Structure 1
């Protein structure tokens, strides 16, 4: 056993002293501007006086401030099937890495064998005239262990490790996307609930106008044209109600698909909350290096590192491959004598293989590895550029959102006042019905547009949080 331990220690020393044929990895320069532009508008959220600041380290539980939405997101993280698939992919990659890593060290195995022979004219044990020979062996050894002098196995192991790391980041990206999709679906349902409420309120107003116009027509004051116009507005509102009810039902189905289970009524939105459902304060400046925190970009870099390691493995194939088979054990002609003194034996069988003619196989593998690395560089840079654009787009939208919301709110308020005045003048007989009808339609359109703007503002903050990487805890 001492000889076996000495042999193993010597082999490990050779491995540790071996060279690495992989190129030194250098992260590519970010192919984007040093800082992410804040956007063309003014009033981008600053740090002063606006509460907690959103950063890449902000946990989703701190970012989403509405308790109902937070509970729905927690349910989705616990039950979403796509996230379970991503987690299973991580476990597969981890298992493959462990399998590849095992090649770095010798695999020891114990074996025992009994051989029975009966040959003519052979002398048996003790000189007896018998042709039978019984041989018993027991040994421990390693078989065809590659001594990794040029780093082939180590680089293959590194590549498997980087694939595992990439799968972890892909799982994190799936979780970030799930959080954003769930929040957006919840907000969409809230907005459709708001639109349904507005449609019902307007149906009520149009119904009152229709009844008033019908009464005026019966008295000969209004024309049949006015009655028909009032009827069309009332029916349009009824149609919008039916459409909004359908949308709300579909929104719930989409939300429960993301959540992976049925959701309780108390966690579903009844309208679009007046207060923000997320943090809204942003840092004044966002450097481009922040993009390196995004899981998809981190995954692309791990894939790039794995491709770099594959070049080392392809280079090592040009050099000799040395393997070792060794055994240490005991042998006897009788089972009772198997472990007696003097029955031990050992064997060491190193072998080397040197490529001479492979008809371009190794060269082709090396070219393939280099081309794969070049492709992964382009993939990594494209991921950075995509992330840069997503954050810049979200900031550009954010920079004008406050002004748009203020303008849309003012427009809605003006349309409501205009409708109230025109309705009063119509009832007093000052204005004709067409003025009131036009004011009703303008108010309805303004109400719907305001809901869309409020939804866009809330969804924009969710998208910005996803684009900068978000927190996972």
Structure 2
């Protein structure tokens, strides 16, 4: 009796009941009791109005992308541009971005059908000791051409969630690459300000050396006239030597900072020798936009990157939950097979195989629940990082504003004290020259002047640094795209392949 061939329709009759049974059994692997515990902080809940109260609040815009130009030094502008163009320190951030983009591409590819082709020519000969004729001792050849189709429909959105999680990580890496450029430009600007301070300290030491030399000449005249003895002369020589040591220390600092700038530019130390003395203008008064803190979210690269990581972790939870549900795999193989090339393309050479397969997790030793628990913990970790970054960002803005305010007041007081000390030294020197005062009077008046000049040089450098810190804390002119403004990955297939900034 002939055996009837199976009907494709009859196969489908068995597939649908099996799929329904799989849905009923899906509850055996349960997600119950697993959920993330952390929640992102609302930016406007971080009160800052009183700390930033005063003339610093304004309708001023956020810093421009070339914020360093406000310091007014063309050489600094050129150095920052050179660093952003040539520094190798950006290579790692760009490589991490490309790595994350490739990972997103892999996740996208996993959602799509695959089709492969293969060709195979085989030959086999069985020995007659194992098989009698006609099989044994005869060389049997075969040729096979095949097309292999595979697809696993994303019924529950798990693959899409994995893709969106990878896109979020790629977006975070893209913003990190922008942040690396802000960090580099800030480092160049801070080193440049330190170089300006070192030159100022050299000027202070040279002025002290000139004052000590004038006092030494006056002391020698008085010794030659028999008015003073060798003690006063040796004291003035000691003051000259101390000033020379301070000048040498300042020059060493200048050389070290030139080398540091050359390294930031990605060049050899000889590049630093071409950097001339900075010519910075006055640091601008501190001003922050009145829209803080909520608008800070869209301008700080680290905050935006943290938000993308929270979004990616959220999609990771969705992917882990989808793994608890049944899945369908579609496989089809179509080809041609024959014992010789002459029969390969005949109708009898057609080879075919395929059909749907259903898989369902029932008991897996707790693996799926552990994976979901890990995804929940990853989300909590991302949220904690975001919250900490947001709080730290607002504190950086406040610290920079308050530092600028305080430094302006300190510079004004120190300038007034320096002018008074200079007048006191002029009076003491004139009295000593006229024979009405002693060398001790001059030295006593000279010492606070040196200290105040050194203090002023340090305060000026700190004031410039506060300007740099404020511009950096406000985002450095970057406007990265956050998750809320991003289009859905399904509507933008190239989302994970954004260009390197």
TM-score bracket for the superposition, by shorter chain length: 0.7 to 0.9
| Partner of residue 482, structure 2 | none
The size of the alignment, in residue pairs, is: 440
Structure 1 residues 117 and 96: alpha-carbon distance in aligned structure 2, compared to 1, 3 A threshold: same
Note closer, same or farther for the CA distance 1:271–1:423 as it changes in structure 2 (3 Å cut).
Answer: farther
Partner of 2:463: 457
Name the stretch that deviates more: 379-388 or 442-451: 442-451
Which residue of 2 is the match for residue 157 of structure 1? Answer: 163
Q: Which of 204, 213, 233 is 1:207 aligned to?
A: 213
After superposition, the C-alpha distances for 1:36-75 in whole angstroms (9 at most, x for unaligned) are: 55547x654856xxxxx55145434654532100111111
* Structural mapping, 1:111-260, within 5 Å: 111-116=118-123, 134-143=141-150, 145-260=151-266
Cross-structure match for 2:419: 413
Cα 1:457–1:162 shift into 2, 3 Å: same
> Given the alignment of the two structures, is residue 355 of structure 1 paired with residue 361 of structure 2, yes or no?
yes
Superposition map of 1:28-43 within 5 A: 28-30=41-43, 32-33=45-46, 35=48, 39=52
**Match of residue 90 from structure 1:** 97
Deviations along 1:234-280, whole A, 9 cap, x unmatched?
2211111111111111111111111111475796242553x23x665
Distance 2:87 2:250 in 1: 27
Secondary structure, in 3 states, of the residue corresponding to 1:429?
A: coil
Tell me, what secondary structure is at the counterpart of 1:357?
coil
Instruction: Show the 5 A alignment for 1:357-396.
Output: 357-396=363-402
Post-superposition offset of 1:395 = 0.8
Task: Say yes or no: does 1:331 pair with 2:337.
Answer: yes
Deviation of the 1:116 alpha carbon: 4.0
Cα separation, 1, equivalents of 2:64 and 2:327: 47
Is the 8 Å Cα contact of residues 391 and 464 (structure 1) preserved in structure 2?
A: yes
* 2:75 alignment partner, one of 60, 68, 71: 68
What does residue 447 of structure 2 align with? Answer: 441
Q: Distance in 2 between matches of 1:118 and 1:59?
A: 76
Taking the aligned partners of 1:37 and 1:342, their CA distance within structure 2 comes to 87
Q: CA deviation at 1:319?
A: 1.2
The offset of 1:450, in angstroms, is: 1.3
The equivalent position to 1:432 in structure 2, one of 428, 432, 438, is 438
Paired with 1:102 and 1:26, the residues of 2 have a C-alpha distance of: 32
2:156 is paired with a residue whose SS is coil
Distance in 2, Cα, partners of 1:425 & 1:61 = 48
Q: How far has the Cα of 1:203 moved from its partner?
A: 0.5
Unmatched tracts of structure 2, length 5 or more: 1-30, 479-500
TM-score by length of 2: 0.79
Give the TM-score normalised by the residue count of structure 1: 0.84
> For residues 254 and 170 of structure 1, what CA distance do their matches in structure 2 show?
24
Q: Equivalent residue of 2:152, what SS?
A: strand
How far 1:380 moved relative to its partner? 0.6
Gaps of 5+ in 1: 1-20, 48-52, 125-129
In structure 2, relative to structure 1, the CA distance for the partners of 1:325 and 1:58 (3 Å cut) is same
Confirm or deny: 8 A CA contact 2:44 2:294 kept in the other structure: no
Deviation at 1:26, TM superposition (A): 8.6
- Taking a change above 3 Å as real, the CA distance of residues 64 and 201 of structure 1, as seen in their structure-2 partners, is closer
CA–CA separation in structure 1 for the residues paired with 2:252 and 2:426:
31
2:215 alignment partner, SS class: helix
**Aligned equivalents of 2:41 and 2:134: distance in 1?**
76
User: Could you say if the C-alpha distance between residues 45 and 356 of structure 1 is closer, same or farther in structure 2, counting changes exceeding 3 Å?
Assistant: closer
Is the 1:37–1:395 contact (alpha carbons within 8 Å) kept by the matching residues of 2?
A: no
Stretch deviating more after TM superposition (92-101 or 173-182): 92-101
TM-fit CA distance, 1:28: 4.4
Pick closer, same or farther for the CA change 1:393–1:281 going to 2, 3 Å: closer
Distance 2:289 2:475 in 1: 17
Match of 2:293 in 1: 288
* Structure-2 change in CA distance of 1:286 and 1:451 (3 Å): farther
**How far does residue 149 in structure 1 lie from its aligned partner after superposition?**
1.3
Distance in 1, Cα, partners of 2:39 & 2:377: 17
Q: For the residues of structure 2 that align with 1:336 and 1:441, how far apart are their CA atoms? A: 107
Q: Which residue of 1 aligns with 2:66?
A: 59
Pairwise CA RMSD = 3.1
Structure 2 residue aligned with 1:319: 325
Deviation at 1:104, TM superposition (A): 0.8
CA distance change for structure 1 residues 466 and 150 in 2, over 3 Å: closer, same or farther?
same
Q: 2:192·2:278 contact (CA, 8 Å) conserved in 1?
A: no
